[in-house]
Structure 1
């Protein structure tokens, strides 16, 4: 196979990988990382259209040049300082023209263009701008959904240079496949957020779009920390993290089936009302199973059913048939009620969402109480380790805490 054939095959493999990603933030990270690697670039930035405005999403530099931990590196995904770009910057120039900019020596770039590189690369103080490769992420229909800017791409010998002209068609193919994947992922998120907005419209004050975005992102990051410690295969981690990010957003969809008089009650629920409220786990699973047409809904059903189970077995709904809500055979207590799932009987994703849902609920204002101080929330989680929560997952949560704080800033309540 020739070098060019190998490059083409690599792009086909990458495109297939993009097509399997469903969460837009993780997809953008994968696209930027791949572009920076293929271009052997020192720094890469990705910009995404929001309405009619192109905004910076995040910037990455080479791992070998970056003295940050994996946890700190993930924080770039949730940088709350996403910002619109000045008109004269290269990404906006590309948005207007649709052209690729490929320059070996930036000092030779015509000044009459009045165009400058977008300066996110300056966050890395050891980077001196020499060459630049920037290109539109354009769908097959010609729609530009974003732009990638690569600083100081290198050839195989390590020399900073422009991309060879023969590589331009490959760059365009990469960009087109990436753009199509971004559109699909954005549509998936819009669909899920539309469901959440129904809950918001029903004035369920807890199920805001910000809350479910935080819970989904928290869960995905805690899972990755736990899975890496378990030395799970990288591909499995990536696929599970991608599914969990979206599925966890639907953890409380069963509240749609709970009477509004209970859902909106500002004070403490009666025992009977609380029993009704607990049915949201089963009803959520039933709703998702009934309408499941993808892996996301199937994972979400599992989470909806199990995120109120406890490590010590005193949670709910326990060992039930989700289709009927009745106890499974041999899993009834002396009163005929289903026994709670405990320990590793609880699915991994349910154990994770149990933690992050409680964390987010306590950290934010509710109609019946004020937000807690973070130190009190963290103390409660630590105290409940081994009783309410899986101790290993609590450890993973605390190891991911810096990223969790960054996520909280990225998705604030309105």
Structure 2
């Protein structure tokens, strides 16, 4: 019922939703209707199709026209994200009693895939923000949920996830940022690296060491931007994800109230990993959106570009390549949706399936975008053409939320544990 009420709100606010047959313009090329074999609405319920349309519409009207500018000028599009939050996209899988939409993990994947066709970088930040809001909603007490979640769901306040450190990336359990208890406050010292939104966001969900070595010594604190002792490094220069700032987050005798701890002491690593299971589906979904857009861009380019007296679409070699791209896209989408269902249902295979989805989809979708760029020839290497931005923006998806090498380790351990 909660999901239905939230969905009704989303559909009502987005009643101007696009139809698949509508012609959209991408970089001077006309995108015709989506071929039935790669239609992302296949197999969805009527309700899911409705909010998918809302997300596609928002991507086409509010994101795609600005995608290149946000990238080139490194603009963090807060106003656009707040418009997305008005449609229910600021707390998609947060409970409705604190302002969330109360939708499922599958619903969330569908929305992020659609939004990413408009701007991968911005959607990826929205997905991280959603993960932070969910962590507070799921592991926080009622006072914490009521304090933070409504403003996060409306995106009046923005959140960042702080796990990675300069010396602990894949080996997250070795993190060194310390939180020493003094009276009713923790004194936080250390630094976090590669933090999306760092310096521009309001709430930091921080994993820190309150106990001994290893994962059981890690706790989770919510740190507000105005806290004394909190500062930020320089804005990093990146090859992609340029519509969201990335900075180091630095703690120097930063006093955080004990009341800002999520869960009990020592539960932080478990909270972090549960957040990342969903984050892996989210980021894979963002890769899907980029790949979907890239397939359409490549198809349309082949139909208008002439070489040797005929359009490239008449080349059997390129036809076969396009067919392979479409097949990889559909296979990737099915894998993500299966993993999302498993996580939503709390099945024992969820961790492995989320890892499989993240590994397979981010690799294959990057391959799709790379092939789409190749099909564009020299034009694909120009920033006038969107295909290069999709490629740049999803490259990092093979690294973050656990590198794809770590995904292989998780999958192998799951297999061997059952032998």
Same fold (TM over 0.5): no
Structure with more strand by fraction: 2
- Based on CA coordinates, which of the two structures has the bigger radius of gyration? 1
TM-score when normalising by structure 2: 0.29
